[in-house]
Amino acid sequence: MGCHSVYSNPLIERYASKEMSYIFSDDNKYSIWRKLWVALAEAEKELGLNITDEQIEEMKEHINDISYDVVAQKEAKLKHDVMAHIQEFGEKAPKARPIIHLGATSAFVDDNADLIQMYNALQLIRVKLLKCIDNLSTFALTYKDMPALGYTHFQPAQLTTVGKRACMWIQDLLLDLKELEYRIANFMLRGVKGTTGTQASFLELFNGDKEKTMKLDELVTRKLGFEKSFPVTGQTYTRKYDWYIMEALCGIAQSAHKFGNDIRLLQHENELEEPFDETQVGSSAMPYKRNPMRSERMCSLSRYIITNVSNFSITASTQWLERTLDDSANRRISIPEMFLATDGVLNLYINISSNLKVYPRIISQNVSRELPFMAVENILMRAVENGGDRQQIHEKIRKHSMEVRLAYRENGIIIDLIKKIIEDPDIPISGDEMKDILNPKNYIGLSAEQVEIFLDKYVNPILNSNRTLIENIQAIINV
């Protein structure tokens, strides 16, 4: 844990993994700045500027050698973080000092580093999303044909299966994965565009050579491992791009919140239960409690992500002309926290989905309690086939059903509806016939087949092509 005398961010201390925390750490951010300066110098040298290999090698030697106390002293004086880092870097690499940041504006390192951090974070999110899908796929296949009470409006409806319901959770995550992969595949850097995006400073450096100026942008982008940069920018890339990325995170949060709510509801019904450790305490006052705290925590973090997306929408819409600085302080906080929170959500999702406890007897009891009411139409048709009068039988079954419902709701008395129907002389149906009608699997439709087809056609191809990534994930999951 961090220092107890000052505020510590719970996203780092309690929820996010070390991997995600590192991506947005100062060490990573400012080493990326230095890699950007190296890539810029290399590209400028290749295009003919008077920059030596010795200068570039000196810069490379100090990419991770950052004296934060010196940077802090310089920033206190300069009131400019990029200039403070340029000066500190120049002291470490004195031969390269004259050419560090040559022709660039602060947004060159600020924006490109933010984008690189987000790109790497999206890759980590993607692997964890795949792990959640993998866990749920195993669960869905295991319980593909276990009848369970379906709910609409959280009121008993027709039957489904435990596995079929899990496929609904998976489908949401597949939609999120598709959106995430689109963002990754089409990712762009800001590139090398100059102070207001016109590339004027670089055009001056290359003595008016337009081809070299445009080539610089391409070279630096490729040296950093990317294929694309924004074709046009102001001083900064459009903040609308941040919003698109955060919308992808918001989609994951929506899916996780839905899953978390479903687990909380089903745990209330005693059908499913999230992991509960042997020494875990459910309540400080009520020792018997087994609260769904992981699912609740997941919903809590998801809500933070969902509501914070509007922040990026406002930032994108309020930028002035080629740039304004009112986005800066906001983005320093909001971008890392969106990713840290999403990482925390997926850590919880992985933990819950890999250890879900199913209680088949309770599920069966809940099905048995409601199935007689769902089966009345089949009972009616069978009785008519056996020679009964349809209208008379309908009225009899209606009265028996109302009597059973009323007895339970008003007095808590449980009356066996099926027994009453079998014993009614005006309803010609036998106990054996009733047993056949009341087989729960008669009421699950194509649930089992849907699970198999869905997994085989839509899920397994994705999981199989990413199996190595899924199996090698080494996330630190704090639960």
In eight-state DSSP terms, residue 441 is G
Residue of 8, 283, 430, 465 with catalytic role:
283
Is residue 263 a contact partner of residue 293, using CB atoms and an 8 Å limit? no
State yes or no: is 257 an active-site residue. Answer: no
Distances from the Cα of 145 to the Cα of 161, 207, 225, angstroms: 6, 73, 47
Residue 350 and residue 478: Cα distance in Å, rounded?
11
In eight-state DSSP terms, residue 318 is T
Is residue 292 a contact partner of residue 274, using CB atoms and an 8 Å limit? yes
Dihedral angle computed from the Cα positions of residues 290, 296, 298 and 300, in that order, rounded to the nearest 10 degrees: -160
Count Cα neighbours of 89 within 13 Å in the Cβ-side half-sphere: 30
Distances from the Cα of 297 to the Cα of 115, 264, 265, 348, 368, angstroms: 29, 11, 15, 8, 33
Return the residue matching tokens 């949401």.
172
State yes or no: is 153 an active-site residue. Answer: yes
Query: Tokens for 267?
Result: 């745990």
Dihedral angle computed from the Cα positions of residues 357, 361, 366 and 370, in that order, rounded to the nearest 10 degrees: 140
* Other C-beta atoms lying within 10 Å of the C-beta of residue 241: 20
Query: Tokens for 254?
Result: 């929506």
Query: Tokens for 347?
Result: 């850590």
Query: Tokens for 125?
Result: 């999110």
- DSSP codes, 196-209: SSS-HHHHHHTTT-
Residue 452 and residue 433: Cα distance in Å, rounded?
31
As a whole number of angstroms, the longest Cα–Cα distance in the chain is: 105
Query: Tokens for 159?
Result: 């039957």
Query: Tokens for 165?
Result: 């319901």
Distances from the Cα of 334 to the Cα of 128, 282, 301, 329, 346, angstroms: 21, 32, 14, 9, 18
Give the active site residues: 153, 283
